A and B are shown apart, each in its own frame.
Chain A
Amino acid sequence: MMKQSKFMKSLLVTSPLLVLAACSDSPQQSADKAAAMPEKPAVMSSEQMAVPAVAQAPKAEESKAEPSATSADKAAYDAALAAANEAVDKAASVGGEWRDTRWKKSTFVKWTSPSGETVKGSFMTVAAKAAEAGDYAKAVELLETARFQGEMGYEQAMAQKQAGPVIGKSASAAAAAVSGDKDGYEELLKSTIAAADKAASVGGEWRDTRWKKSTFVKWVKPDGSTEKGSYVVIAEKAAASGDYTKAIELLEMAKFQADMGYAQAMEQQNAGPKLN
């Protein structure tokens, strides 16, 4: 079984939301959407919200020795840069480096310098530009995201080491599978509804899980006609037509969404503005 850390769970919550937007974009389009897409996963654990150590250290130094603001910021920048590089090197060493962390060809991050020039690049490329322009605060902020992405990429690659198919024979071994018949379907339907109720109870139900107005899931029936609806609605139709395999597949997605919706709502309980 795959062990999932809190980090990875938070990623899982964002990914289904982002995948629809992610595909077939030109780089420009995705850069434009950057505002809507969190650089860090939308759901963060409390440890992650704590101010990173790198940012704190120089402040302490500042109040003690009162060096010029620039040199203190430069020190913070150097420390953040070293930490980011270390984390990204570590991710790269296991093939887990993300696209926009340090890669030279990334154009994901946009930043307008004090002189009005707009710079595009990876988090680390733009951090270097910001530091060059003397904006160490911005540079450190970007480097913290880079370091975070490095850590996530490493953790992700490690967690995925044993990745393998969850279909066919290996599937039933890997997932807590239900039997592919009417009984299995009914069992899964019950637990899916319970999970969706739980998500709804904290305002976390997603659009396409079981909402009657969703038309997201399309299913071509054996007779060639097409049905549209939420995962649960279509699963019920598939089951009614005797296609329990399809019904179970759809319910698995619905249950996954319901669980994620609940987790998301719980982790967002203390959400608030994050304006800089």
Chain B
Amino acid sequence: MRKYISVLLAASVSLASSTIMADNNADANDLKDYFIKKFPGVTTDSLVNGAYALDEGLFMQWQDVEDNFPPYEDNLAKGEELYNKPFANGKTFASCFGDDPSAVRVKYPHWDSETQQVVTLEGDINKCLTDNGEKPFKGKKGNLAYVSAYLAYQARGQKINVVVPDDPKAKEAYEMGKQFFYAKRGQLNLSCADCHVYQAGMYVRADLLSPTVGHTTHFPVWRRKWQLADKNEDGFGTLQRRYDGCNKQVRAKPFKNQGEEYRNLEFFHASMSNGLEINGPGYRK
């Protein structure tokens, strides 16, 4: 009898885990519908432009910068240089990412069934370095952001397509990212969704809050604010640098760069832009 019960229990447990929903495209569609209703006249595709999709005046100013003097140009070129520069062992990044640099960005983030975790582009850039006996790039800016920016630029126009495979662990990671996004945190008790879903389109002080659909398409970004904070006047930063900033705003302690929390968040967050075009790197204020 005992044995029978434990068999039953085991069966129900595995059933439970395989019924985790984790339908990222359905979640993305819910959000897209919500924003389209919330912002009459705004198309889903235009959300790749973040807050600028919501205000024509701001859009024009921003477009002017993007078209005429994108401040990230020099460091974008540096990213290309770094990407092609041979390592001490003579190989280059192409030995990890393949010969076509335009085919890289769109594969990220993804679930890696071997290591059973979410892998980000920035994570793999550094993995390539260490696998080849090089030192990894530090932090969430500088060289790491330049190489990432170069790969984004090469992939412009391709569509984001994050896949959550039919693997309970992958689904769990996705659900953890989703929970992270919707959970209130910090002294101000606000969630990502409080600002970037429910209050999107509203102003907080001088900032128009961007909708979360379209958030990841233009990363890494070059921000005026980051430029002013940097002694080399370089405003580049990765998506996870932005996560840090937003967590700090609500007075939550930021999480570890490329740690599990942020990687899972990125898995969910990027999924919400499925079907939208990659347009990184982007200029932001």
Of chain A, the residue at the smallest CB distance from B54 is A220
A-binding segment of B44-52, B119-127, B128-136, B176-184: B176-184
- Closest chain-A Cβ to B260's Cβ sits at a distance in Å of 10
**CB-based nearest B residue for A2:** B184
A131 within 8 A of B: no
Residue of B184, B253, B255 touching A101 (CB-CB under 8 A): B253
Decide if B252 touches A97 in the complex (CB within 8 Å): yes
Interface size on A, residues (CB 8 A): 46
Residues of A within 8 A of B180 (CB): 95
Interface pair A168/B33, CB less than 8 Å apart: yes
- A-B contacts, 28 of them at CB < 8 A, read A14-B188, A15-B189, A15-B190, A19-B195, A19-B204, A21-B205, A22-B249, A24-B205, A24-B206, A24-B249, A92-B253, A95-B255, A96-B185, A99-B247, A99-B251, A99-B254, A157-B185, A160-B182, A160-B183, A160-B184, A160-B191, A163-B179, A164-B182, A165-B31, A167-B30, A170-B30, A222-B40, A249-B38
- B37 near A245 with CB under 8 A, answer yes
- Mark each residue of chain B from 25 to 42: 1 if its CB lies under 8 Å from any CB of chain A, else 0: 001001101100110110
Tell me the residues in window 20-65 of chain A with beta carbons closer than 8 Å to chain B beta carbons: 20-25
A165 touches B27 (CB 8 A): yes
Question: B37 and A20: CB pair below 8 A?
Answer: no
Distance A102 CA – B33 CA, assembled complex (angstroms) = 41
Interface residues of A (CB under 8 A from B): 8, 11-12, 14-15, 18-25, 92, 95-103, 108, 149, 152-153, 156-157, 160-170, 218, 220, 222, 245-246, 249
> Inside 8 A of B187's CB, which chain A residues have their CB?
11, 98-100, 149, 152
Given A15-B190, A96-B185, A165-B182, decide whether A103 and B253 contact each other with a Cβ distance below 8 A: yes
Q: Is the CB of A99 within 8 A of B178?
A: no
A162, B184: Cα distance in complex, Å: 11
User: Which residues of B are at the interface with A, using a C-beta cutoff of 8 A?
Assistant: 27, 30-31, 33-34, 37-38, 40-41, 178-180, 182-191, 193-195, 197-198, 202-207, 247-255, 261
Smallest distance from the beta carbon of B163 to chain A beta carbons, Å?
Answer: 21
In the bound complex, CA of A170 to CA of B31 (Å)? 11
| B251 and A98 within 8 A (CB) | yes
Question: Is A8's CB under 8 angstroms from B189's CB?
Answer: yes
> In the complex, what residue of chain B is closest to A23 when comparing beta carbons?
B204
Residues from chain B with Cβ under 8 Å of A11 in the complex: 187, 189
- In Å, the complex CA distance between A103 and B186 comes to 12
Given A163-B184, A164-B182, A167-B197, residue A23 in contact with residue B253 (CB < 8 A):
no
Q: Are A98 and B27 in contact (CB under 8 A)?
A: no
Compute how far the CA of A20 lies from the CA of B190 in the bound complex, rounded to whole angstroms.
Answer: 12
Contact of A24 among B34, B41, B204 (CB under 8 A): B204
* Residue from B38, B40, B189, B206 within 8 A of A12 (CB atoms): B189
- Let me know if B30 and A23 touch, CB within 8 A: no
Q: Which residues of A contact B178 (CB under 8 A)?
A: 164
- Complex Cα–Cα for A96 and B184 (A): 10
Instruction: Given A99-B247, A99-B253, answer yes or no on A19-B191 (Cβ-Cβ < 8 Å).
Output: no
Closest A residue by C-beta to B246: A23
CB nearest neighbor in A for B250 = A22
Q: Within the complex, what minimum Cβ distance (angstroms) separates A20 from chain B? A: 6
A153 contact set on B, CB distance < 8 A: 185, 252
**Is A18 a contact partner of B188 (Cβ separation < 8 A)?**
yes
B contact residues around A23 at 8 Å (CB): 204-205, 207, 249
Task: Decide if A167 touches B34 in the complex (CB within 8 Å).
Answer: yes
In the bound complex, CA of A245 to CA of B34 (Å):
10
Question: When the two chains form the complex, which single residue of B30, B40, B185, B247 contacts A165, counting CB atoms closer than 8 Å?
Answer: B30
- Report the minimal beta-carbon distance from A175 to chain B, rounded to whole angstroms: 11
Q: Which residue on A lies nearest to B197, using beta carbons?
A: A167
Closest to B33 in A: A168
Q: CB-CB < 8 A to A160: which residues of B? A: 179, 182-185, 191
Distance in angstroms between the alpha carbons of A157 and B194 in the assembled complex: 16
